Structure 1
Amino acid sequence: MSTDTLPATAKTSDLVIRDADHSDIAAITAIYRHHVLTGTASFEEIPPSETEITNRFDAIRGNGLPYLVALQGNGVVGYCYASLYRPRSAYRHTVENSIYVAPDCAGRGIGAALMATLLERCEAGPWRQMVAVIGDSDNRASIALHRKFGFEATGTFRDVGYKFGKWLDSVLMQRPLGSDKPVIPGPMDK
């Protein structure tokens, strides 16, 4: 997606969003490592290795789900993906999103550009719902980003995570993916 097709509020000079590949794993790992070590968007406490990130990447792509990176200049400045919400077959039409932006690039519209592209990709697929499980009810930027793209709050799990010496909530949000999907999918449609 070029910046010409991004929503006006998400325009960022020379931003390119493309499918992630194995050459992006080191940058993805570094961005996620920062968020694990300094923030509460993820409830992981020990940053996963590049090998573990590669395994996760391969599993997501193996399920035919989108995994995207945002590039500016020659560097990865953010990434996002849709993963299976839950492994049981009845959930096969629901995905969960994850978006992370490099710490020095926050507030520049990169998250919005990633979200717009991820939603576009998921709406073109067989999925009917996207959920967001946002770590920490104080994560106002993520909650605002999801609201901007039509997600509605569906609930909050109180004090379900413990990180940095405090109890944290998980905020649940949800958004339909396209109104043209069949109301009742066929048996075991994928």
Structure 2
Amino acid sequence: FSTRQATTKDLPLLPSIFNHYIIHSVISFRLEPINVDFFETVYASTTARGLPFVVVTTPTTGGEQNVIGYAYASPYRPGYDAYRHTVEISVYVDHRYHSVSAGTALMDALMGALRTARVPEPTRFPSKLEEAPRDVADDSVVNSERTGRVRQVLAIMSLDAEGRDGGHGLEKFYARWGFEKVGSLRSVGFKFGRWIDVSMLQVSL
């Protein structure tokens, strides 16, 4: 497998990968299939913020590269600028390529890119921060070289009780990149006639 930054030419290939999970699993809480417009919006928003959107490919008989998965990081709670150093990741592999290291290749590429990604600063800091006492607005924090970098990465995943290890298999997968479970949301999703829990995983860069 090889990985690279996604381009707009890749986007029409992604709905079929995602729609499989929408239709056949609780991995996504979406109930209706999406089209390429969804990925065009996500791609534009992600890349405009300097965040990675990567694909994993495999060679075809014609020598071209076949896209078999994608991953991207999006702002956590966009519009709330105090969260600007935190992102949430999405990772999907064509269901026909499970357990062949395609997901590992995607995660390696995504996490590597996040370590050097820059996040946009707000137009100005709140006046309360500017007026805060030294122990609150410490220059070593506010003005450090890491201020403009991604610091926290979240993976928010549904728990499929009928899946591998009762839905906890993905937690073990993410743990390979240092993710730890930091919380749970109980019965927040309803799909296929059953209530579904969500796990929140986090790693600091």
Q: CA deviation at 1:140?
A: 3.0
Q: Give the distance between the partners of 1:165 and 1:20, measured in 2 at CA.
A: 36
Residue equivalent to 1:184 = none
Deviates more, 1:58-67 or 1:133-142: 133-142
Segments of structure 2 that go 5 or more residues without pairing to the other structure are 60-64, 118-148, 162-166
Relative to structure 1, the CA distance from residue 91 to residue 137 in structure 2 (aligned partners, 3 Å threshold; closer, same or farther) is farther
Residue equivalent to 1:81 = 72
Q: Give the distance between the partners of 1:120 and 1:160, measured in 2 at CA.
A: 32
Q: Give the distance between the partners of 2:184 and 2:3, measured in 1 at CA.
A: 31
Q: Is residue 65 of structure 1 aligned with residue 51 of structure 2?
A: yes
Q: Is residue 131 of structure 1 aligned with residue 133 of structure 2?
A: no
Q: How does 1:84-123 map to 2 (within 5 A)?
A: 84-87=75-78, 88-123=80-115
Q: Kindly tell me the number of residue pairs found equivalent between the two proteins.
A: 163
AA at the equivalent of 1:55: T
Which structure: larger Rg? 2
Residue equivalent to 1:10 = none
Residue equivalent to 2:139 = none
Q: Is residue 153 of structure 1 aligned with residue 181 of structure 2?
A: yes
AA at the equivalent of 2:44: D
Describe the superposition over 1:19-71 as per-residue Cα deviations: whole angstroms up to 9, x where unpaired: 11111112111100111111111111111111122112211111111000000
Segments of structure 1 that go 5 or more residues without pairing to the other structure are 1-14, 178-190
What is the aligned-residue identity percentage? Answer: 33
Note if contact 1:152-1:175 (Cα within 8 Å) is conserved in structure 2.
yes
Instruction: Please provide the CA RMSD for this pair.
Output: 1.1
Q: CA deviation at 1:84?
A: 0.3
Q: How does 1:43-62 map to 2 (within 5 A)?
A: 43-62=29-48
Residue equivalent to 1:3 = none
Q: How does 1:17-28 map to 2 (within 5 A)?
A: 17-28=3-14
Residue equivalent to 2:121 = none
Describe the superposition over 1:111-153 as per-residue Cα deviations: whole angstroms up to 9, x where unpaired: 1111111111111121001011002254333211111111000
AA at the equivalent of 1:80: A
Note if contact 2:27-2:160 (Cα within 8 Å) is conserved in structure 1.
no
